[in-house]
Every structure is written in C-alpha cells, then in structure tokens.
Amino acid sequence: MTVTAELLAQVCRVIADTTGNNLEEVMEDSLFEDDLGMSELELERVLVKLNKVFSIHLDLKAVLSEGIESVGDLTKMVAEESELG
C-alpha cells in the first residue's frame, strides 16, 4: 500500500481524535512534539488505535527507533506495515 490521500486522512483523524488537536492542525508535515504537542504517552495511544484500525502491529519502541517524528513518516510506516500484513 502506498501513502494515499485517503490513508493520510485516516491517520490524521486518528491522531486528532486521540490527542484532542483540531483536524485542521494535523497535516502531513506536522511534527508530533513541536507542532502537535504530543507526549510519548499520546503517541503510544495513537499507535494502539492505528493498530486496531489497520490490523497492524506498531509499537512505540519501533516508531522511536526509526526516528518517526511527523504525521507523514508515521503514515508511511502504517502503509509499510499494512503491505507486510
């Protein structure tokens, strides 16, 4: 699965719903900490929801070790995990 506008929109919705950010604030180039004010705990909650929505398994340790810091990077990781399915 490649990163599509639909996939990006789904990831943005999950992030907004989980963190309380306005959907308009959550963009592809938004940085979790700097732009969205997300803590590691919030990121972990986002990952749990993404895992359920996409039937994948991402964990915080893997995301942090890959240097994932933006919505776009996380969306790419979701796409990759979905392909491996």
CATH number of the domain encompassing residue 59: 1.10.1200.10
What is the spatial distance between Cα 24 and Cα 62, in angstroms, rounded to a whole number?
Answer: 27
Mean pLDDT of 49-62: 96
What is the spatial distance between Cα 50 and Cα 47, in angstroms, rounded to a whole number?
Answer: 5
Q: Judge whether residue 6 has pLDDT over 80.
A: yes
How many domains does the structure of the chain reveal? 1
How far from the centroid of its chain's Cα atoms is residue 22's Cα? 15
What is the spatial distance between Cα 10 and Cα 4, in angstroms, rounded to a whole number?
Answer: 10
For the chain, percent of residues with pLDDT exceeding 90: 92
What is the spatial distance between Cα 21 and Cα 37, in angstroms, rounded to a whole number?
Answer: 9
User: Range of 72's domain?
Assistant: 5-84
Mean pLDDT of 47-74: 96
pLDDT at position 3: 80
Q: Judge whether residue 1 has pLDDT over 60.
A: no
What is the spatial distance between Cα 4 and Cα 38, in angstroms, rounded to a whole number?
Answer: 24
